[in-house]
Amino acid sequence: MAFSKENRRNKIRRRIRQSIVGTAQKPRLSVFRSNKEIYAQIIDDVNGKTIAAASSRDKQIDAKGTKSEVSQAVGKLIAEKAKDAGVETITFDRGGYLYHGRVKSLAEGAREAGLKF
């Protein structure tokens, strides 16, 4: 049975989420990417709270450059917001996307800004 791209991603996403859980000490960095934008949230799943969020639509992000460059800037911004909230280490939830391109750029940007995965 052939899945659409979205169904395939959701199936992978559910499988990933069975093993990845964000706690207050080590929250989850969740990534969502659309065709134009990229969004990142740091989530404490135990308490059901979003600790920090950033996206390519934020005012602090300069939307000039390639999508990968913008994604790297979003990664740096989410890392700064996480540090302000007292978060040092996270688990990375790629959301069913391949660890490649914009998702990889976001993760590398967060690492450069000091988040530990």
pTM over 0.85: yes
Inter-residue contact 7 to 80 (CB < 8 Å): no
SS3 50: strand
User: For residue 63, what is the domain's CATH number?
Assistant: 3.30.420.100
**Assigned domain for 117 exists:** no
**Assigned domain for 88 exists:** yes
Backbone angle region of 10, left / alpha / beta, with phi > 0 → left and psi within -120 to 50 → alpha: alpha
Range of the domain at 108: 5-112
**Assigned domain for 51 exists:** yes
How many domains does the chain contain in total? 1
Note down pLDDT in tens along the chain; length 117 residues. 678 999 999 999 999 999 999 988 999 999 999 999 999 999 999 999 999 999 999 999 987 899 999 999 999 999 999 999 999 999 999 999 999 999 999 999 999 999 999
**Assigned domain for 87 exists:** yes
